[in-house]
Amino acid sequence: MRALEQSLPYWPFRTFNWGRWSNDRGTLNLIGEHTTRRAMAAVKFHEVMPLGAPLRVDDVGLDDTAFKLDMVHAGKYEFGPREEPVAAAADVVSVATHGMTNSHIDALCHAGHHGRSFNGSQFEDNVTKGEPARRFTVMEMQSLVTRAWLVDVPAQRGGSHLKPGTPVLPEDIAWLRGRAEPGDAIVIRTGRYATRVVRPDDPEAADDHGNWCGLHVDCIDLIAELDFAVVATDSSGDNFPSTTPECSVPIHILTEVYLGLPLVHHLQLEAIATRMRGAEMPTFMLVVAPLLVVGGTGSPVNPIAII
């Protein structure tokens, strides 16, 4: 199934995509002109839908650095003639790249396991606290255009949303076998935004790593088999509590460290799910353009769906 399969003495006991490509782009090597053409062919109605969630502070109040806007100027335009009646406003926005709230994409340097990053490189050689990352950064993923498959798990199960802590199972995505092609993206809705099921006064959400819907660890083999280039969800990607005793964040580790596959988190998928409900082919053109953050471990994003 893979160009190189090596066994590890510890979980996950194989290296998946290590050594498969000669560069640092991981599964983004599967994206190219052919995936762009396939994505364009998926467009039927020429409707454009943003998938990013509005930037805000942390849902459960644990991280007040998740988002901040400072209005640093509001008034007379400082660089014009003194008599000119022109006003201007300017602000400074600060966004924590990672977390449990804002839409973002992870670069491959975001996660490490047993001291290793993707392709077996040393994690500490790639990232050092206080310095920009040196390898596997967001600069390796400057633009992603591919066909995406929407998997609306609650709708498939006959509901509006999954209860927090309920994982997405392999059988929820198994219908993609024989349909998805290498380089496609999978976009998974758990219904996080269908209702405000995560609230500061909700005991189940008191810990932001306590009860979150994500992928069951057993989904990874199928994701690897189908050669998805990107996995996006409306939540954390990982299920909390973890679905394996081997790791607290197995989805991050298996995708970013061993598959070389970037994750996109916390998308707002309610509108596109409503629009595409009942579609025989729930596919669309997905465009993700991260900020060009030199040395960045990821970037806030507002992915665009063209259906």
Task: Per residue of the chain (307 residues), give pLDDT as tens.
Answer: 344 567 899 999 999 999 999 999 999 999 999 999 999 999 999 999 999 999 887 655 556 678 899 999 999 888 878 888 999 999 999 999 998 889 999 999 999 999 999 999 999 999 999 999 999 999 999 889 999 999 999 999 999 999 999 999 999 999 999 999 999 999 999 998 886 544 445 554 444 557 889 999 999 999 999 999 999 999 999 999 999 999 999 999 999 999 999 999 999 999 999 999 989 899 999 999 999 999 999 999 999 999 9
Q: Which domain holds residue 108?
A: 26-55+97-306
113 within a domain of the structure (yes/no): yes
177 within a domain of the structure (yes/no): yes
Long-range contacts of range 121-125, CB-CB < 8 Å, 24 or more positions apart?
Answer: none
- What is the C-alpha separation between 139 and 108, in angstroms, rounded? 11
Helix ranges, the chain (H): 33-41, 123-126, 153-156, 170-173, 220-225, 250-252, 270-276
Q: Number of folded domains in the chain?
A: 1
61 within a domain of the structure (yes/no): no
Angle at 192 between CA 190 and CA 196, to 5 degrees: 150
The CATH code of the domain that includes 199 is: 3.50.30.50
7 within a domain of the structure (yes/no): no
259 within a domain of the structure (yes/no): yes
Specify the pTM: 0.92
89 within a domain of the structure (yes/no): no
9 within a domain of the structure (yes/no): no
Sign of CA dihedral 162, 164, 166, 168: positive
- What is the C-alpha separation between 102 and 96, in angstroms, rounded? 8
277 within a domain of the structure (yes/no): yes
